[in-house]
Chain A
Amino acid sequence: MKNSKNTKQIAVAGNGLLDRRLFLSTGLKFGTITVLGSASHQLLSKEANKQSTIDPADPPWMHTPGGPFSTYGKPSAHEREVIRVPAPNSAVPGNGVSWTPLHLLEGMITPNGLHFERHHNGVPQIDPNRHKLLVHGLVKKPLTYTIKSLLKYPMHSQILFIECGGNSNAGWNKQPSRAQAGYFHGLVSCSEWTGVPLSIILAEAGLNKGAKWLIAEGADAFAMNVSIPMEKAIKDGMLALYQNGERLRPENGYPLRLIIPGWEGVLNVKWLRRLKAVSKPIMTRNETARYTELQPSGKARMFSFEIEAKSLITSPSTGMLLASGQGLYQITGLAWSGRGKIKKVEVSTDNGNSWTEAQLQEPVLPMAFSRFRIPWRWDGNPSILKSRATDESGYVQPERDELVAKRGRHGFFHYNAIVCWEVDEHGLLSHVYDKKNALDTGNISIDAGWD
C-alpha cells in the first residue's frame, strides 16, 4: 500500500537523495539490497521460479521442540557468510590480517568474533595466571602486576574504534580494488573497552622527570614493541581487560591489551606484558621500517599516530545489487575520527556534484564509529555514490585525488580518501575512482605486502 506521505518526498540533493529527517516522519519502505554470490541473493533469484515448501503461516519449527540451551551462543546458521576474511603469509600462517565484514553489519558495535585481526606471529594462548605486566624504566618504583590484581582496580569503559594504520591501503593502487567494502576497509572495528586507566598505574610506579615516551611490548611470538608519547598515554591510555562486556578474546589481546584511543591500531599492543618509561622512542622496526609513510619527496612521515576522519557507505556497496530495481533505498555507512566526534557526514549520489547531510545515529561519541543513514530514490540510471566525513576539529575527509596529490602513492599507511561506489543501469555496484584516476593504468599490486 502506498504511503500518502511518500508523495511529499522531495529530493534535497541531485539524483534523488531525500531529506534525512524523512526517517522520522514517514513510513519509508526501502528496496532490497543483496550481496552478489551470497545465499540470500541466490535465494532471491530462485524464489522467482520455485516456491519454498515452508509456509510462514504454519512453519515446521512451530511443531517440533526447539534446540537446547547453549553455554555460549553462536550466530544463526543462516548467517554463516558473515565472517572475517583472513589473508595470512604463505610461510607463516599466523602472520597477516583478517578483515571485519563491515558491509554485512549494522549499528556501531563490532561483534567480538568479527573484530579485525592483525597478528605478526599468531595468537598466543596465554594462561592469565602466568601472565604479568612489568612497569619499569624511568620510574620511582618498578612494579609487576598480575591480572588478578588489575581486576581489583577502579575501571572505566569507553566505546572506541581501533583502526590499523594500514587499513584501506589498496586505495593507493592505480586500479580500484574489487574487494567487498569490508574486505578492503575492514581493518577497523568498534567495541566497548573496559579496563584500568593507565594513568593510575603510571602514578603508582611514579614517573621520573624525562619520562616522555612509553615502550609497550606484547607477550606474543613476535614480542611486538612500539613507542608511545607519554602525554597521550597518561591522558587517554587504558589497560583493557574486557571487550563488549566479556573478557578480551585471545585474538584481541587476552588477558591484557593497551588501548590508545583514536591512534593507529599498532599502538594498541595486545597481550601486553611490559611498559618501559624512556626519554626517547626506541625506534622499533614497526615505527621505522613500517607504519611510516614515504612521501614523494623521498622523506617519510614518522609517528603519524592520529587517525584522520574517514567514512564509507557500507550498504549498498561494491558487489551488491539494488535488487528491487528503481525506487527507494536506504544508504547506510560508518564514519570515525581519531580527533574526536564526527560532526557531519554528507552523501552524494551524483559523483560529488551535490551533497546533503545524512542522519547520524545517536549517540555520537568521540573516537568511535558513527553510523549514518539517508534515503535515496534510485531512478534506474548509472550513479556514483560517495560519503564525506567532517569531524569536530573541522577536518574534512579528502577526495582521493587530493590525498594522492599531497602524500603520493607510496605512503602505504593512513589512507582515508572518499570512497566511490558506481551503480550501473542494472543496479550493480562496483568500486571506482574519480573519472580522472579511473583512466590510469598500471600495476594493480601495492608497493608492499602485509608485513
Chain B
Amino acid sequence: MIKKMRWIPVILVLTLVGTDVFAAGAAEGPQLGQAVSKEEIARWEISVMPDGEGLPVGKGTAKQGKSVYQTHCLSCHGKNGLGDSADQLAGAEFGLTDEYPDKTIGTYWPYATTLFDFSRRSMPMHAPGILTDNEVYAVTAFLLYLNGIIGLTDEMNAKTLAKVKMPNRDGFINVYKENQKVD
C-alpha cells in the first residue's frame, strides 16, 4: 500500500541526531537513482513478512513435502530433520530452560513464515532457488509437521501459513524496543 508521502519523519529524525550530511545540505544528493516499475520490483522481491505479506500463490502439504525433503534436504539435515552436517530441524529432546536446550523450529522459531522466506531464498545450500513455490510450501509443511505443529495433510498456502501459531511465538524480548523506547 502506498502511504501518503511525507517528509516530516525523516527530517525530524535527522534534526534530532544532527547528521552533518543534512547540516551541509548534501541531503539533496545528485539524484542518480533510476525510477523502477512495480513489475521490475516484483522480479527482485522475495521477502515474506510475518503477517504473510509477500507469500506467493501456491500450496503444499507435509505429505507432499516429505519427498521434497528427501530429495533436497536430507543429505545435510538428516533423517526426519534430526541434523547431520547441518542444523537439527526437528525432534527436540530438551526444552529451552534445560541444561542443554534444543533450539529447533518447534521449540524456538517464533514465525512459520520465516521458514518459507528462508527455505526459498537460501536452501538447499548447493542449489538455492531450485525449489518451486509449491515445493517450498510443501517442505515448509513437512518441517512444521515433523515438529508436531500441523497435521500431515494440512494445506499450507498464503493464507494458512501466516496463521500457524508457533509454540515459541512469545518467547522473545525485544531488547532494541526496551532500550530505545520506540515501536
A contact residues vs B (CB 8 Å cutoff): 89-92, 95, 120-121, 134-136, 138, 140-145, 149-150, 152-154, 197, 199-212, 215, 217, 221-223, 225, 229-231, 234-235, 273-274, 276, 278, 280, 282-285, 288-289, 292, 294-306, 410, 443, 447-449, 451
Contact = CB atoms under 8 A, between A and B. Distances in A.
Given A210-B3, A234-B14, A283 B35 contact: no
24 contacts: A91-B85, A92-B86, A92-B126, A121-B128, A134-B44, A149-B33, A152-B30, A199-B14, A199-B21, A206-B10, A210-B9, A221-B122, A221-B125, A230-B13, A231-B13, A280-B49, A283-B49, A288-B114, A289-B103, A289-B105, A298-B97, A299-B171, A301-B173, A449-B87
A236 B36 CA distance: 26
Contacts of B71: none
A29 to B, nearest CB: 46
A274 B171 contact: no
A120 B122 contact: yes
Contacts of A199: 14, 19, 21-22, 27
A149 B49 contact: no
A224 B87 CA distance: 17
* Contact residues on B (Cβ < 8 Å of other chain), bracket: 35 or more
Q: Which of B9, B19, B128 has most A Cβ within 10 Å?
A: B9
A406 B177 CA distance: 20
Contacts of B180: 229, 231
B109 A143 contact: no
Contacts of A223: 46, 121-122, 128
B101 A136 contact: no
B17 interface: yes
Contacts of B30: 152-153
5 nearest interchain CB pairs? A143-B33, A91-B85, A303-B176, A149-B32, A223-B121
Contact of B5 (A121, A140, A288, A449): A140
Contacts of B84: 91
Q: Which of B26, B85, B175, B183 has most A Cβ within 10 Å?
A: B175
A274 to B, nearest CB: 6
Contacts of A276: 47
A274 B40 CA distance: 13
B96 interface: yes
Given A91-B75, A451-B87, A209 B6 contact: yes
A384 B103 CA distance: 36
Nearest to A151: B32
Interface string B1-40: 0111111111001100101011000111111111110000
Contacts of A451: 86-87
Contacts of B121: 222-223, 225
Q: Which of B13, B28, B75 has most A Cβ within 10 Å?
A: B13
Contacts of B31: 204
A300 B108 CA distance: 9
Contact of A136 (B8, B21, B36, B105): B36
A152 B103 CA distance: 46
Interface in B111-128: 111, 113-114, 117-118, 121-122, 125-126, 128
Interface string B159-181: 00000000000011111110110
B41 interface: yes
Nearest to A90: B85
A302 B10 contact: no
B111 to A, nearest CB: 5
Given A285-B114, A288-B109, A447 B101 contact: yes
B176 A221 contact: no
B10 A284 contact: no
